[in-house]
Homo-oligomer: A and B are copies of this chain.
Amino acid sequence: MKNIGEVYPKAPSLCNCMNIRRASRATTQFYDEVLKSSGLTIAQLSLLRHIEGGELPTISELANMMRIDRTTLNRNVKPLVDAGMIVINPGKDSRTRQLALTEVGREVVVKGWELWGEAQASLKEYLGEDDLAKIIQLLSKLEALVP
């Protein structure tokens, strides 16, 4: 298991938005470090995994699933296409395009998913069951700030 690192006392900011932004950066850095040998960031792994959930999604469907801005997703897809992990095919509708994983993409996800499990388990152990459940609930409520 990863060494989670020494806990220094760091007082929260007055601003709660900055508090969550710092926590988000730290959590991302932690997951990205664990995923490092897979060559994926946590954002990329999440994207790839959402493609295989059910029907092959269009850009807009994937953005809705991931609850991320569509134009952001559009940009995030590009390096994964360049790396040969995603292919973009014509969709049923001439306006749409369908995303799919390549064989390379599937292989990378397998590796990344394994490492992700370690990060996820470390976090669970670090926070404890109760605090983990509570923060999931509270983050969900924060997310609902925006429609």
Identify the A interface with B (CB < 8 A): 4-8, 10-31, 42-43, 46, 60-61, 64-68, 116, 119-120, 123, 126-127, 131-132, 134-136, 138-147
Q: How many copies of the chain does the oligomer comprise?
A: 2
Query: Which of these, B64, B66, B136, contacts A12 with CB under 8 Å?
Result: B136
Give CA–CA (A6, B64) in the complex, Å.
Answer: 9
Contact B144 A8 (CB under 8 A): yes
Asked, given contacts A21-B28, A23-B143, A30-B145, whether A136 binds B8 with beta carbons under 8 Å apart, the answer is no
Asked, given contacts A10-B67, A123-B16, whether A26 binds B136 with beta carbons under 8 Å apart, the answer is no
Give CA–CA (A142, B26) in the complex, Å.
Answer: 7
Contact B135 A142 (CB under 8 A): yes
